[in-house]
Amino acid sequence: MQFIYLIMALALSGTTNIDYTSVDRKVYDVQSLEVDSNMYYTILPYKTKLDAQMNAVLCYSKQVMKKTKPESLLGNWTSDVCLEIAQKIYKDDIDLSFFNVGGLRNPIPKGDITKKDLFKLMPFENELVVLELNKSEFLDLKTYFNTTKGQPIAFADGFSLNDSLFLVLTTDYLANGGDKMAFFKNKTQNKLGIKMRDALINYCIKEDTISSKLDKRHLLLFNEN
């Protein structure tokens, strides 16, 4: 861990005028090495600053939110929050948000929520994007949703399966075909200029208390042919 903080310290110090004369690769068992006091005290101010930022309380959660299928408190909350924020940014009305269960890496605990909690939930640098799907492509999304027995999803007010075009909020990772979402590939990605994790952080900063609920939203895609 000390080496991670050392790299961060060097990056933050802005020391870039270095000439490399040679490169030598060696493997060390870091668990058996003693802590270098010079390295430790070089890293300490940056670690202290980072810990203060990550441990800052952003809001309070009324409940534990975990991921399950076909629907979950965690999946509903992340999808709802991202859709709400994206609707305020994007020029057109977005029909739904669609993410993947595997991208949610840690539960939201009950009680005080810190920035660290949201980094543990979403450790990736995925950006929010909006894609346009035609009816055939949306039916492929629906088939994927059924085959995988549910994914995090949220629908805008007035959403209809009878539309011919659908604006879908997702991440650039999934838009590039991640998690076998081939129906998103080769589509124009309208980037919102915000990472999914940052959208969740901003929401928590704005809201004093957060919560989620199960509303059987998955049945909208499960029951329709």
| Per-residue confidence in pLDDT tens, the chain, 225 aa | 544 444 455 555 554 455 556 656 666 565 655 667 777 777 777 767 777 789 999 999 999 999 999 999 999 999 999 999 999 999 999 999 999 999 999 999 999 999 999 999 999 999 999 999 999 999 999 999 999 999 999 999 999 999 999 999 999 999 999 999 999 999 999 999 999 999 999 999 999 999 999 999 999 999 654
pTM tops 0.85, yes or no: no
> Which residue's entry shows tokens 């709400």?
84
Residues ≥6 apart with Cβ < 8 Å to 139: none
Tokens of 2: 């000390």
Provide the residue ranges of all domains of the chain, joining segments of one domain with +: 1-12+29-54, 58-222
Element (H, E) at 8: helix 2-13
User: Is there a contact between 98 and 113 (Cβ–Cβ < 8 Å)?
Assistant: no
Cα-flanking dihedrals φ and ψ of residue 109, to 5°? -80, 165
Strands 209-210 and 57-61: parallel
Answer yes or no: CATH 3.90.780.10 is held by domain 58-222. yes
